Amino acid sequence: MSQNTDTAVSTATPGPAIFQRLSVLSYPLIRVTAGLLLMPHGAQKLFGWFGGYGLEATGQFFADSLGMTPGVLFALMAGLVEFFGGLALVLGLLTRPAALGVMVLMGVALSVHIPNGFFWTNGGLEYPLMWGLVALGIFLRGGDRFSLDAKLGLKI
């Protein structure tokens, strides 16, 4: 009796071979992109770059509009996490601590945006929720093989 091989289940990864070879780049792409997109927000707060207001004015906004006092301290912490934490994610250096910092920051941002509902267009929590979850994913995976953590043998 002959066996029908047309119905056999393949254990190979589906898709063209090019996708299989390039799939190792998917996580570093997410990690690096996240870092690059966070850095300008920190630069706005810390240095007034990219149309930002700098530390003093951002601190004043945090205190007056958000009730976060001392405003300059909160603005400084947010700016440091976004700029230097973002840089750490780009480099894959101290990846988990950087991602943890971003998660904490986004937790604070969530608390500020909850009253505005879900959608970001209304100042809602959609944007900080997304960044918090991206940071959680990065935290869980760490630097991975394309990172300075891996090159330096850091296991944190």
Q: What is the pLDDT of residues 43-92, one digit of tens each?
A: 999 999 999 999 999 999 999 999 999 999 999 999 999 999 999 999 99
The pTM assigned to this predicted structure is 0.86
Rg (the chain; Cα; Å): 21
The structural domains of the chain, with segments of one domain joined by +, span: 26-152
What pLDDT shows up at residue 11? 55
Distance between CA atoms of 37 and 90, rounded to whole angstroms? 10
Distance between CA atoms of 83 and 38, rounded to whole angstroms? 7
What pLDDT shows up at residue 16? 85
Residues whose CB falls within 8 Å of the CB of residue 146, separated by 6 or more in sequence, listed in order: 24, 25, 28, 92
* pLDDT above 90 (res 135): yes
Task: List the one residue out of 102, 79, 109, 80 whose CA is nearest residue 31.
Answer: 102
Distance between CA atoms of 94 and 9, rounded to whole angstroms? 41
DSSP string spanning 37-65? HHHHHHHHHHH--TT--HHHHHHHHHHHH
